[in-house]
Amino acid sequence: MKKMLLSCCCMLTLLLAAGCGKTDERMLVIFSQCNNAEPYRAAQNQRLEELLSSEADVRLVIMDGQADANRQISQIETAIRQSPDLLIVAPLEREPLSAVMGTAVEAGIPVICLERDIVEPNYTTYIRCDNREIGRMAGEWIVEYLTEKNGAPAGNIVELRGSQGVEGAINRHAGAHDVLSQHPDIKVVHDAVANWFQPEAMDRMTEALTANPPGSIDVVYAHNDPMAYGAYLAAREKGRENEMKFVGIDGLQHEGAQYVEDGILAVTFEYPLCVDKAVEVGLKMLRDPSFTPEKTYTMESRVIRGD
């Protein structure tokens, strides 16, 4: 009887193991997201889940770095120990994430760097949009608007930046100033870091409004749409929202594009989620051993203007 029970237990264990093995046979894709709290990041996650939900042989795990580089590094270290078939990383910061992504590459894990670069090319492929070019497009719009408003490229700007050390913030600033620096009568009267967040942008914009009297600000250039909207809300609280134009970047349909349609933002510049391309390339990497991805794929942006 005992032998029979033991035999049954062994058989059950094998059956359970076989069932677990079927789950394990799915290819594991881990996405290290830098901060789920940002609307752009939430949209990335949602789109990635939608695209991979139809792939029966793929299991997706999303890790949230919560805007903390050390947390994201620790999560990637955990991911490496799980030996995923594909690791996708949207790095919070350029320098801190470089080494741990290099560790993943050295471990033989295919790595997609998603729309934010790192200081060393420690990835299999990098899928991006050109932040510097987007910055230039924003700068050109500002020059065009100020010329139309003031009869010459002259006026005052408030700039609200993303997090320091992040490629997007660096190049959205640099690109705009590639253009603005050619026009000495365009002045940045307030320059502040708002870390991509709407509440911080409200606070920084309130400071800008206090320091600059009514009628002295022509344009608010924010490095993303949540900050542009936060600036608008701060100006509205002071009854000054109609004095200036608000410029954002990201262009999500339910956010920046909607703000433009509603007349809150004058313009936004689409920064593609890059997820569709990541899935297209990633599935080829998973399924075709002969496939070698390009080192960099660059997605196109577009201008979303009001009427």
Nearest to 218 by CA among 269, 133, 134, 159: 159
Q: Identify residue 129 by its one-letter amino acid code.
A: C
Fold of 27-123: Rossmann fold (3.40.50)
Q: Average pLDDT in the 144-169 region?
A: 96
CB 270 within 8 A of CB 251: yes
- Is the backbone of residue 250 left (phi > 0), alpha (psi -120 to 50) or beta? left
Split at pLDDT 50, 70, 90, the class of 20 is: very low
Distance CA 231, CA 53 (A): 37
Q: Both ends of the chain: CA-CA distance in Å?
A: 83
Distance CA 189, CA 154 (A): 12
- Of 9-13, 28-32, 98-102, which gets the smallest average pLDDT? 9-13
Concatenated DSSP letters of 202-236? HHHHHHHHHHS-TT---EEEESSHHHHHHHHHHHH
pTM score of the predicted model? 0.88
Split at pLDDT 50, 70, 90, the class of 11 is: very low
Res 1: pLDDT? 43
Burial of 148 per CB tally in 10 Å (0-12, 13-18, 19+): exposed
Per CATH, is 131-270 categorized as 3.30.70.100?
no
Which value, to the nearest 10 degrees, does the dihedral of the CA atoms of residues 266, 139, 90, 40 take? 0
State both tokens at 202: 């409200």
Tell me what the pLDDT averaged over the chain comes to: 93
Residues in contact with 167: Cβ distance below 8 Å, sequence separation at least 6, in sequence order? 94, 116, 117, 131
Q: Average pLDDT in the 237-244 region?
A: 98
Q: Is the dihedral of CA 118, 121, 127, 129 positive or negative?
A: positive
Q: Average pLDDT in the 64-77 region?
A: 97
Give the neighbor-by-neighbor strand order of the sheet with 267-270.
186-193, 155-161, 219-222, 245-250, 267-270, 303-305
Distance CA 69, CA 82 (A): 20
Equal fold, 27-123 vs 131-270: yes
Q: Average pLDDT in the 70-89 region?
A: 98
Residue ranges of domains in the chain: 27-123, 131-270
Res 306: pLDDT? 83
Q: What is the pLDDT of residues 220-230, one digit of tens each?
A: 999 999 999 99
User: Is the pLDDT assigned to residue 16 strictly greater than 60?
Assistant: no
Split at pLDDT 50, 70, 90, the class of 24 is: low
User: Is the pLDDT assigned to residue 250 strictly greater than 70?
Assistant: yes
User: Is the pLDDT assigned to residue 7 strictly greater than 70?
Assistant: no
Distance CA 77, CA 117 (A): 19
The H-or-E segment that residue 28 falls in is strand 27-33
Distance CA 60, CA 95 (A): 26
Q: What is the pLDDT of residues 28-69, one digit of tens each?
A: 999 999 999 999 999 999 999 999 999 999 999 999 999 999
